[in-house]
Amino acid sequence: MSVTTHRQESTRVTATVSVRVPENADADLATDAQQRLTAVDTVQTATVEAINGIDPGLSATVVTVRTTIETNGSMADLRGALSGTVGVEDVEKVTQ
């Protein structure tokens, strides 16, 4: 019997994204944004490096963050996954 291991390489990218954080969130803005980004399918890890902007609203705050993301997909796949995620308002930049 043979054993095959599939190892998928990860890519580290920097992304600037705007994330909607509900007013009743359990964590601070950066932590909540990081948790929401980590929940995206192609994201292995996400670390918020800086908050670039805060736009308060009635029921949620949109926070723009610069984040380091490790992904097992391509940059195009990551951009698409981020753009299609509920709560991600805008994907400004994704660079390697």
Q: Give the model's pLDDT for residue 7.
A: 55
Q: pTM for this one? A: 0.86
- Domain membership of residue 49 (yes or no) is yes
Total count of domains within the chain: 1
Contact (Cβ atoms closer than 8 angstroms) between residue 63 and residue 33: yes
Q: Are 16 and 66 in contact (CB under 8 A)?
A: yes
List, for residues 37-93, the tens digit of each pLDDT value. Answer: 999 999 999 999 999 999 999 999 999 999 999 999 999 999 999 999 999 999 999
For residue 3, the model assigns a pLDDT of: 54
3 lies in some domain: no
In a domain, 15, yes or no: yes
User: Is-contact 89 16, C-beta < 8 A?
Assistant: no
Domain that residue 85 falls in? 11-95
User: Has residue 1 got a pLDDT over 60?
Assistant: no
- Rounded-to-integer distance, Cα 8 and Cα 71, Å: 10
- The pLDDT of residue 14 is above 90: yes
Domain CATH number, residue 45: 3.30.70
Residue 1: inside a domain: no
Is position 2 within any domain? no
